[in-house]
Structure 1
């Protein structure tokens, strides 16, 4: 199976797309600071899933899944900060938060499976 066919990668891509659609709401002064941080963290998730998927060893696959999970936690932290600064209203981030949660749960499941295969 190609990584693009996995629900995990598709959810991660949906998360990245949602971030790119949300970032124009940032204050103009943060368009290059926070926007860059949010988008880098968001795109890191599907990119690392894809890279890990193509690796041959289980250890390499697990490593890239761990990086993806870390990037997702970073994204969630940045999103929380933006909400606390009143840059994003909670009703505007609800869908993104749902995607982050689903992707995180799927990554956790996949990482546990990898550990049990060793």
Structure 2
């Protein structure tokens, strides 16, 4: 797969694994489902997009991954405020989603060249 050599995809996968493990025993199934789906959507959209033929389609999936990173960032912030995520973990995840968004933006720009 084309995605497996990209740092942004690898980091997205790592973050998704962390989120899944962190919420493994969470009883709020709605919140758990939402935040884990957002985390999984980041690397999944990167992978799907890179397999598309046209640059326009690829960019669209990268934009979906960016949206999922923003969604995860927001859910992390809220999760910390309601006591589901400890502050240190929340800061790490927010920093990582910010970095992923920047990396995705760079990737999208390279596709348009």
**Structure-2-length-normalised TM-score:** 0.90
Correspondences of 1:1-118 after superposition (within 5 Å): 2-24=2-24, 26=26, 28=27, 30=28, 32-115=29-112, 117=113
C-alpha separation between the residues in 1 aligned to 2:25 and 2:76? 12
C-alpha separation between the residues in 2 aligned to 1:80 and 1:97? 8
Count residues with an aligned counterpart. 113
C-alpha separation between the residues in 1 aligned to 2:85 and 2:31? 12
Unpaired runs of 5+ residues, structure 2, are none
Deviation at 1:104, TM superposition (A): 1.2
Partners of 2:77 and 2:90 within 8 A in 1 = no
Any runs of at least 4 consecutive aligned residues in structure 1 with deviations exceeding 6 A, and if so which?
none
Give 3-state SS (helix, strand or coil) of 1:61's partner: helix
CA RMSD of aligned residues (A): 1.6
Partners of 1:15 and 1:96 within 8 A in 2 = yes
